[in-house]
Structure 1
């Protein structure tokens, strides 16, 4: 007849399956992880320009005058300048997991750094004063993020002429899947 009345049939959750209840299925899908990328760059944040100039001036540049081959001269210059750069501004390898958001600006970055500093200060001291400072700056950051998103999308999506640009803008911000 097609009517099932078997109270002994249950799911893994202990729910009895009868003809009165909705039969459903759960599918667990793993979200595709973005592969981290390694980026190499020279870190000039701690570069001492006076010391770099001093190191370059200490190189015996007169040896270039005795060289005959242009490739040899180029190799000598490159080698010495690279040695100074390696000392003053070493190459750093950094792991990058995602692109920087196009709506992120310098003010927001500064405020986020201040928020992180206040959070670590609170975690060290656990005082109410530090908690209130952290909470206020956290709320300020959240409001600024919200306002920055609104401005970014209202400016960029309002000026798009066609749907291709519209969806490209949304995909660049990870609003919709690519």
Structure 2
């Protein structure tokens, strides 16, 4: 059939009903930082007491990064420790407090029937159960209609959220070492170039005379670094386990 949905398209959308077998959601593990006991005053005090001089004194850049990350992770694990939760049911944003109250009423009716085993109690439970089922479907429909109307620009993102699947694609072991990747590409370039004498001669003879600016590295101020870090929008956590929100807490005092 077709349905008129002007918030989605100027054309009527085609739909169909397909009977599918219900898939049981696999149990998922979610790791997060626990902020229930967090105190910014104590966090700031411990942050200020970290001996950052050891980072400056380290001669190797990798050692500097390791020391920096270790100090921050120790601080974070103390004040906002990692917690792990398991869940199997998908997120249901349409479950309002009213729907949850109906669930509770339905459960009471079921418990009454289990105790009495009377046909009257069973009929009461079935009536409440059917009413709750209809209420949930109406609430789902209302929720998605509002979401599609309010978030027209993110329409396809909302569609994808309707059927979330595990799209995790771990990096193969042979590609996980960035140093080896960098070494491979730099060595490949050297092998491809071979003798660069002719290339250098061509460059010197054809270099544009109108370009006088030479590429160079310049020093940056603390304000520039602060502004750049503050402008980062992504909240993704890297392989070091440190997210940008935690960095933003620390950056004013580093």
Q: Name the TM-score class by shorter chain.
A: 0.3 to 0.5
> Normalization by structure 2: what TM-score?
0.34
Q: If the length of structure 1 is used for normalisation, what is the TM-score?
A: 0.46
Q: Which has the higher helix share?
A: 2
